[in-house]
Amino acid sequence: MTVVISLVTTTGVNQQYQQLMLKNAFQITEVLAKQAVFPLLSGSEQNAQEAMNQVQGFQAVLAARLLTETQQLFLAVGDYPKLVTPVAPFVQQTDIIAETTNYWLIKTPIKLSANSPLGEESQFELDTNNTPEQIIGYAEIVYSKEYLIEAQNQLTLLISVVGALSVILLSAILHFGLHKLFKPLGDLASTMQLSENTGKHLLAQVNGAKEIQDMANIYNSMMKSLQQQETDLKSHRNLLEKEVEIRTRELVIARDTALMASRHKSEFMANMSHELRTPIQSIIGYSELVTEELELAGNLTLIDDMDKITKNAQRLLFMINSLLDLAKIEAGKIEIKETQVNVNDILISIRDTITPLAQANHNQFICHNNCSLKTITLDKTKLEQVLLNLLSNACKFTQNGTITFTIFCEKANLIFEIKDTGIGLSPEQQAYIFDEFRQVDASQARKFSGTGLGLSISKRFVELMQGKITVSSQLQQGSTFIVSLPIKQIA
């Protein structure tokens, strides 16, 4: 601010001093013009010389000259600068006609009027009532800027020195005052920063201005409060850790107990495979034997009853097989047995098995083999069980529609696509369709029967074969299941 004020002051004073010198130069030129009226009229260079000498007596006047009305030189004193042209423009009043960094060239008209000083010895008489002002010549002076520049330099130097001293003095005062004012604030900030870095609740010194003391007191109160809260939190945390440790031990014991019970259940179910299947298979075998004898005896009424017994026994065997497969998977007793399998044989086997199921609900079953591979290494039994589960579901949930089974290759995977035009699945149903014991319609009055294990077991089998199974569906527009298996070996 001090520097700006100094610059503004210097500029203003220099301009005022320049205007003052310029006004003085105008006055000198006008005085020369008044004194040159009689010499011009009389043509007396001696009289003009006296006026010129008076003008040249001023230090700033470098040169002067008188011109006639036609711009002809009448008398000149001093050395004119080379830049001044012999013929200058006509002027009607005092004006600057040329300017350089070193001088002004000022010109004014010499006017003849009633008030012009002609002198007592003048033989000219003027009619003061009828004669207007008449320009009879011109007066010029070259006015030097040397003294203006010197004064401006001295003034600039003086103001600069005063400004510099003012800045130094003000800076010292401000430095002392601000240091005294902000040192307590800096100490408070350092204490806060140290407290943040170390995590300790450090207290600050209370000194300095009243506002800083208030800040320090508030900070110290906050630190004390945080220290108390931290102590309380540590006590509460220790109590919680003890309770969590107790609950964790209880949960670990409960988890181990549940895992052991689940493992025993799975092992039991897996070991009971033979014991559970044998009675059902015996029932089916005896039912078929009795059916044959009744056919020979021609007893058609009892044959229908025996067919019902056989179908329910097969249904029960299927449910038991599903439960036992799931138990074996959970017990880790399912193994993948990979063999060289003909891709076309898989298609033929599936078509022969699924065609009767599709026709039962008046569906059309279509098969496509778009795969260029002839054989592949995989577990044929588990793959066929997966495909049969998916296709039987498609036949069950589709009526008077179409079930399409397609085999094709995509990059390094063998793809099996099962597409139907059945009732479809909602997005919510697709989210849990592969969960164990979950069915789309779980109500007691559901239209379609089943254990809810087919898709879950299929998903487990596919994952055991390092593949994946996905579904896309919309309600009343059918579903599409895709089984993707990696191609391990081609022969």
Paired strand residues for 376: 341
Give the domain ranges of the chain. Answer: 2-144, 273-331, 339-486
- Identify which of 389, 368, 380, 491 has the alpha carbon closest to the alpha carbon of residue 434: 389
Backbone angles phi, psi at 75, to 5 degrees: -160, 140
pLDDT in 10s for each residue of the chain, 491 residues: 777 787 788 788 778 888 888 888 888 888 888 888 888 888 878 888 888 888 878 888 888 888 888 888 888 888 777 655 555 577 888 888 888 888 888 888 988 875 555 554 444 444 444 456 788 888 888 888 887 788 778 878 888 888 788 888 888 888 887 777 778 878 888 888 888 888 787 888 888 778 888 888 888 888 888 888 888 888 888 999 999 999 999 999 988 888 787 777 666 665 665 666 677 778 888 888 888 888 888 777 788 788 778 877 776 776 677 666 666 666 666 778 889 999 999 999 899 989 988 998 999 999 999 998 889 899 998 899 899 989 999 999 999 999 999 999 988 899 999 999 999 999 998 888 888 766 655 443 345 555 567 788 889 889 989 999 999 999 999 999 999 999 875 44
Q: For domain 2-144, which architecture applies?
A: 2-Layer Sandwich (3.30)
Please tell me whether residue 275 adopts helix, strand or coil conformation.
Answer: helix
- Amino acid present at 313: A
Residue 165 CA to chain centroid, in angstroms?
51
Regarding pTM above 0.75, the answer is no
How many Å apart are CA 155 and CA 149, to the nearest integer? 10
Assess if CATH 3.30.565.10 describes domain 339-486: yes
What 8-state DSSP symbol labels residue 43? Answer: T
Name the token pair of 251.
Answer: 């949960």
How far is CA 66 from each of CA 100, 144, 278, rounded to the nearest angstrom? Answer: 21, 18, 149
Question: How many other C-beta atoms can be found within 10 angstroms of the C-beta atom of residue 45?
Answer: 12
How many Å apart are CA 61 and CA 32, to the nearest integer? 12
- Amino acid present at 397: F
